[in-house]
Structures are given as structure tokens and as C-alpha cells.
Structure 1
Amino acid sequence: MPEVIFPLDSSKKFEDQEKVGHNRWHPEIPPVATVKPGDSFRVHCREWFDGAIVNDDSADDILNAPLKTVHKLSGPFRVEGAKPGDLLIVDILDVGPIPGEDSGPLAGQGWGYTGIFAKRNGGGFLTDQFPGAYKAIWDFRGQIATSRHVPGVSFAGLIHPGLMGTAPSAELLATWNRREQALIDTDPNRVPPLALPPEPEFAVLGSLPESEYARVAGEAARTAPPRENGGNQDIKNLSKGTRVFYPVFVDGANLSLGDLHFSQGDGEITFCGAIEMGGFIDLHVDLIKDGMSTYGVSENAIFLPGTVDPRFSEWIAFSGTSVTLDGEQRYLDSHLSYQRACLHAIDYLTKFGYSPEQAYLILGAAPIEGRLSGVVDIPNACATVYIPTSIFDFDVRPSASGPAQIDPGPGAPHSAG
């Protein structure tokens, strides 16, 4: 096993650990450890809410989820010799739930969760159709996930970090804050908001000196979106065996990561759409000097996906076009067309006995594939969502005999608050 350079004690909160990570992006957050090109090492990760979401049959914790506290990231890790303009090579050697802890109060101790976030507290991809808070708990048995809240479904997890990236430079950070504030200003009272500005409250900034805390917390970017440094990309295929090439913007690169997922569908459409968990990840790092200019990677990571994906041979697919629910034509709106494809899949699954919320949770957590199938035939973009048929305990294909009727159980917990 590689050396653990960022340990986490499951009996302690994230901020009370021997080494403290962070939940904002800023170039001045001090590294917690230094590694060399060619090193392999292990990092422990806490799930993104640090235990605020619990294994029960209520969704009140999702309704009141403390979004200002996330993500609880491990790092930053300084890579010796890394300079702006280099490419940082990160190999994911292994990744999994909290090792040796098959039960306990933390996600990753034998279980994980998926949430539909309330529209007033984060929302999601289909928040106008699903404005309430719901939750599903998933139990892990080896590589297989099942849920008492979504019966009749089981699948192998494609475990991956939802968030990994390098630190921004001061100039890049200022660019993020400027352009995102300009977007917010176009509709400052929107629910959910168009973007998240810097928020000093609940900022965790590692070992930054107290004298610098107020200034840095007021500048530091929230970790919610993906950006030029990688960040919260939520790409399910960044799994074991993946090699990622990250742009370097500061001396040492300052790599950080977290937000581990046991499984996820393309798009993580419920916002907390993956099966969230804590765990470990083993990494190997190296450098390509001046790689950004050599390969034209001025921004955003490129990667070679891992080869451990669950293999499915049969799918049922749903399509959508860029026409709103009330019949308004939009021009090549691929975001809308993917929404419509997902809604068609949800409508279909309800015919077998699932509630719409259970169907939505399946699309967020299971290894569905989302595709842009047509983006040139004006005025309609076409997107498709592919669901592997073998994840269901019953035949989900259309037939002359009609849809099988499953027992949906008690359903997904809902908070009415």
C-alpha cells in the first residue's frame, strides 16, 4: 500500500484532523504535503458534507444540507518542481470506500447516499419538475449497490473522484470571480442562483495564518463548478486506471481532490446525483515540463479513461429535443434536449411502479450514459440517455404484455419542509 500522506480519522470532524484540508479554491492555501514526480501515495477523503447526511429514512438532512460548507477537499499537495505552464500527470491507481470500515455513521462505511436537492437549497438538473428534497440510501456489498428506497435495482459501482484539480493563479481566480459575478448580476434573485460568489462563512482554508483568513476567504472561489483547473467535473469515467493531465497555474501545482462517488450516471442530474461516499484514493504523479504549450492545453484537463467500467451489452435509450414542456421551440439547446430525454425516461419507469422521484434517483446514481446525438439539424438538438437493462431485477423492455409491476416499497424519503 502506498504511504498515506493525508490520513483521516473517522471519529473526528474534518476540521479537527491532524492535517486539515480546505473547501475553497485560492492560490495561497498552504500545501499539506509535498510529493515528487514519480511518487505514489494514498489520500483519504471525506464525503463532501463531512457526515451531515445520515443513514436513515428521512430527507430532512438533504432539505437543510449546509451547502456553504462543501466540498471538504484533501490537499493541497505540492508537486516538487511543478511550474506554471507544465502539465501535471495524475494516475488513479486505486479508489474505494473507507478501507476496513464496513459499517458506521459516515457515508463510505458500507453505504452511500443520493439526494434530490430542494429548489431553494441547490436545486438540480430537473429542479422545476422536482422542487422538493428526497434521499436514497445505497448499501454496498463488494462492488454492488442496492437501495431499500429504490427496490428492484442493483449495479456495480464505477468508483471515482467527483472533484480533482490544481490551484488557480491569482489572475485566474480573479477572472473566475469577475465573470461569475457578471452572470449573477443578470438575475441576482434567481432561485437557485446562477452562480455562487465567494462566501467567507464556513470557509476552511487549511493551515492559512489567521491574519490572512478574512482576506483570502473573501476572495476564494467556491468549489461547486468545474473550471479551467479541473475541479468539480463529476466525470464518472475518471475511475481506476485513469490518467489525467492537469494544467499547472502556480508553483507546485497544488493538487486537491475529494467528493468520491461509488457510482454516478452521466450528468449527475439530481445535483447530489451520484452515490456519495468517503474513502481512499491512490495516486501517482509526474510532470510534462512546458506541457501546456506543447500540447495546446491552455485550460481544462484532458484524460485517458480507466478500463474498469462495468460492461453492459443491452440498453434502453430515450431521446429528447430542444422543445420546452409548454411547446416553445429553442434553437439547438442541447441542455434542454438532455432534460427532455431524462424526463421521457422517468415517465417510462413510472409505468413499472416507481414514483417519479425514484426514477429520477435511478438516473442520477446508476451508470447511465448521456450523449449529444445531434447538434447540427436546426432548430432541434437531440440528446439521448441510455439505461443498461441489466440493472433491473425485471424485464424493462417494452412488450405486448405490458410493463411488469414492481413493489416500489416505502419510496424515497421526502422532506416536506
Structure 2
Amino acid sequence: MAETIIKVDLKKSPYENENIHNRWHPDIPMASMVKPGDDFIIECVDWTGGQIEDNDCADDVRDVDLSKVHFLSGPVGVEGAEPGDLLVVDILDIGAFDDSQWGFNGFFSKQNGGGFLTEHFPEAQKSIWDFKGMFTSSRHVPGVEFAGLIHPGLIGCLPSKEMLDIWNTREKGLVDTNPTRVPELATLPYADTAHMGKMTGEAAKAAAAEGARTVPPREHGGNCDIKDLSRGSKVYFPVYVKDAGLSVGDLHFSQGDGEITFCGAIEMAGWIHMRVSLIKGGMSKYGIKNPIFKPSPITPKYDDYLIFEGISVDEEGTQHYLDVHIAYRQACLNAIEYLTKFGYTKAQAYAILGVAPVQGHISGVVDIPNACATLWLPTDIFDFDVNPNVDGPKIELDGSVDIPLSKDK
């Protein structure tokens, strides 16, 4: 059996584990070393480090400290890896812990992170999803069950100092264009809640002051939230520092394309089994700037979809020029409105789009002035028929169950 090279204890704070970190910095020491060809298992806490509980109250989502996230296991050093190489990572398997067979989905309040549709859902809410083997369902969102496409939301290698400086400069420049915006335009370095792994003393303080936050995807990979990066995937990561420094976390049981609720997947703690190898000089050989990957050969088989279109016209009727962001938002809002006709609340419909294996597509970006984006909703995940017909929608849900809403402080 593969060796578990990083272990976690869900009963302890991630800050007590020197093999976990929550910032990107080139000087974070390697938690473990492996050789090309090795396979190994890494355990991961959920991305918040246990801040969210399995209950029917959303106050923990309202109060979550997002300056602490994401908690990543690693970095894992690969012997012989040098800047300019490609680190090849085979994701062999992923799973939840036997004693933690549940996950959560949440909407963050507009005042604390927001989300893709934060203007429509400004208050914190959450749903709990129970795992039954490869399937999941929720007491908060009745009428749906689907197979999980388990994947790491966040995986990547350490940046070089030069790359770290580029990240911090360009993101600060963006924040400076509107420094009081809510939610903020980017998350800048914040030392107070940083956990720098095995770094201690003055070195840790200095690194924490400039360590990049883990919120966005960047050139090294990071928080890409790609649902198809599942078991059986092969990923090619650019290497920017000696030994590469591979870290992973933010495990998801399932997610729709876009992770539109921000805490938009079914977040979980668990383990991931990986194998690594190297392509020397691979970045220049293949002209790679960002990671590329081959998807899993094992995916949930859903063949029947309802596909919702959206165009570059916002909710107020304002025309935008080939704006894919607005087009996808409109596709999501159209799907939410449709699902309410079957008895779902808008919050339940929003959660479904965030956690179920929906597909998002950029369907057209040349027909001025409207880009067209589409959201593909698998119909087989529902316990009832959601297709249009001449008789109209049949109300299947009585509205007695809804996603918990946070209370006023």
C-alpha cells in the first residue's frame, strides 16, 4: 500500500500541524520529500480547517474567517525537480474519511466574500450533504441525488520569489482601483492568520507579511476549482522552485462548473492518492505557462440535459459587449427561475447549480454584442421529471424544507 506521508487530525486546529500551510511563499520548507515515480497518500482538512459544522444553522458560514483559508497539505518536494520542469501528477484516487462522511455547501454573505450571484443571495446560507458511497443527497435540498465527481479544488506548486512579487503587485494594483469595494476585488497578504508550515521565528513573520493568499487560481495552478480534475486525471504543473513544492487541499465531493456559490462545491475533509514524475525542461519544450491536464476516464454518466442560455444583457436590461461573465450569470439565473416552478426555493435551486455536476460552456464569443453562455443541467439527478411539457410543471416539493439562513447578530 502507498505510504501516507501527511496525516491530519480533524479534532485539532490546522495551526498545530507543521505539514499544513495557508499561504503561498517560495521559502516554505518541504513537509516531505518523494522521488519521481513514487506514489503516496496525503490527508487534508476541509478548506476552512473545521470552521463549518454538520448542523442546521448557517451562523458558522456567516462568521467564517476567510483570512485563514485555504488550509493546504504540503508542500511535497520531488527530488530532481528544477525551475522550468513540468511536474506530472497522476491523481490515482480520492475519498472522504470513514468517520467524516459528509460535506457542506455555503453561500457567503456579501459582507464576507460574497459569490457569483451575491446581489441575489446577500445573506449566508448553507446545506449539508451526506455521502452514501459514490452518491450524495441533502436534507436541505430534497428531490435530488447524484454521483460525486470527487476532486481537489486547489492543487499547485510553490511560486518563485519573482512570481510571488508579480502576483502581489498586480493584485494590489487591482484593489487600488476601488479599495472600498464590497466584496473586495482581491485578497492581499495578511500576516495575522498566516500559517507557514514548518517556518518559525522571524523568517516566518517576514514570509507571512508577503505570502500570497490562496483564494485565486494563478500560473502555478492553485484554486482552479475544476471539477474534471478527478481520480484518473493527469496534471502537468509548471515548476518554479527547486523540488517543486506540491501542495493540495480544498477537496470537493462534487461541484458544478464555475463553483458559483463561492463555497460552491460540496466541501469535505479527506485523502488523495497521487503519483509524481518529471519532464525535464518541459515548460519551454511545450510552451506551458499555466497547468494543463487530461481528465478522468471515470465520470458520472448523465446523458440527458436541460440547457439554459444566457447573453450579455444584465438583470437591469443593460447591454454589454461580449461579456461572458454576465452571460453565464444570466444562464444561471434562468435555471434558478425555472427550478422554482417545481417548488424549489431560489436558494435551493442555487445550491443545486453549485454542487451537482452541471456543465458550463462558452457557446459563442463572436456575434456582437452578445456572448452566449450555457448551463447544462442533468435531468437524471432529480426524483421527478423536470422537462417542459404541455401540461406545465408539476409542483413536487411543498416548500417545508429550505436551506438554513444565518440569524441576525
Please tell me the TM-score bracket, short chain as reference: over 0.9
Q: Indicate yes or no: 2:9 matched with 1:15.
A: no
State the alpha-carbon separation in 2 of the partners of residues 320 and 310 from structure 1.
25
Distance in 2 of aligned mates of 1:279 and 1:76? 17
Could you say what the CA RMSD is over the residues aligned between the two structures, in angstroms? Answer: 0.8
**1:270-307 per-position Cα deviation (integer Å, ceiling 9, x unaligned):** 0001000010000000000000000000x210000011
1:8 to partner: Cα distance: 1.2
- Per-residue deviation, 1:373: 0.4
Tell me by how many angstroms 1:201 deviates: 1.4
Alignment of structure 1 residues 130-209 onto 2, 5 Å: 130-209=121-200
| Partner of residue 123, structure 1 | 114
CA distance in 2, matches of 1:212, 1:229: 23
Asked if the contact 2:310–2:330 (Cα under 8 Å) also holds between the matched residues in 1, the reply is: yes
Q: How does 1:11-50 map to 2 (within 5 A)?
A: 11-17=11-17, 19-50=18-49
Aligned to 1:26, the other structure's residue is in SS state: coil
Query: 1:166 offset after TM fit, Å?
Result: 0.4
Give a deviation string over 1:152-209, Cα, whole Å, max 9, x none: 0100000000000000000000000000000000000000000011010110000102
What is the letter of the counterpart of residue 69 of structure 1? K
Instruction: Show the counterpart of 2:225.
Output: 234
Distance 2:190 2:23 in 1: 9
In structure 2, what is the equivalent of residue 80 of structure 1? 79
Equivalent position to 1:312, from 274, 283, 302: 302
What per-residue deviation string (whole Å, max 9, x for no partner) do you get for residues 182-240 of structure 1? Answer: 00000000000000110101100001021212211110000000000000000000000
Q: Partner letter of residue 362 of structure 2?
A: L
CA distance in 2 between counterparts of 1:197 and 1:402 reads 50
Structure 2 Cα separation of the partners of residues 57 and 365 of structure 1: 18
Give the TM-score, by structure 1 length: 0.97
- The separation in 2 between residues aligned to 1:350 and 1:212, in whole angstroms, is 54
- Once residues 226 and 11 of structure 1 are traced to their aligned partners in structure 2, the CA distance between those partners, rounded to angstroms, is 29
* 2:19/2:75 contact within 8 Å kept: no
* Cα deviation, residue 409, structure 1: 3.5
Offset, 1:129: 1.1
Contact map agreement 2:154 2:250 (CA 8 A) in 1: yes
Q: Is the 8 A contact 1:150 1:409 kept in 2?
A: no
Correspondence for 1:281 among 266, 269, 272: 272
Task: Confirm or deny: 8 A CA contact 1:132 1:416 kept in the other structure.
Answer: no
> Which residue of 1 is the match for residue 366 of structure 2?
376
Contact 1:155–1:391, Cα closer than 8 Å, also in 2: yes
Hey, what's the Cα distance between the residues in 2 that align with 1:117 and 1:254? 31
Are 1:61 and 2:60 an aligned pair? Answer: yes
* Structure 2 gaps, min length 5: none
TM-score where L is the length of structure 2: 0.98
Aligned residues of 1:320 and 1:344 also touching (Cα < 8 A): yes
Equivalent-residue separation in structure 1 for 2:12 and 2:108 (angstroms):
26
Number of residue pairs matched by the alignment: 407
Q: Determine if the alignment matches structure 1 residue 339 to structure 2 residue 338.
A: no
In 2, Cα distance between the equivalents of 1:10 and 1:324?
43
**Shift in Å at residue 128 of structure 1?**
0.9
2:267 is aligned with 1:268? no
**1:215-226 superposed matches below 5 A:** 215-226=206-217
Over the matched positions of the two proteins, sequence identity in percent amounts to 56
Amino acid at match of 1:132: E
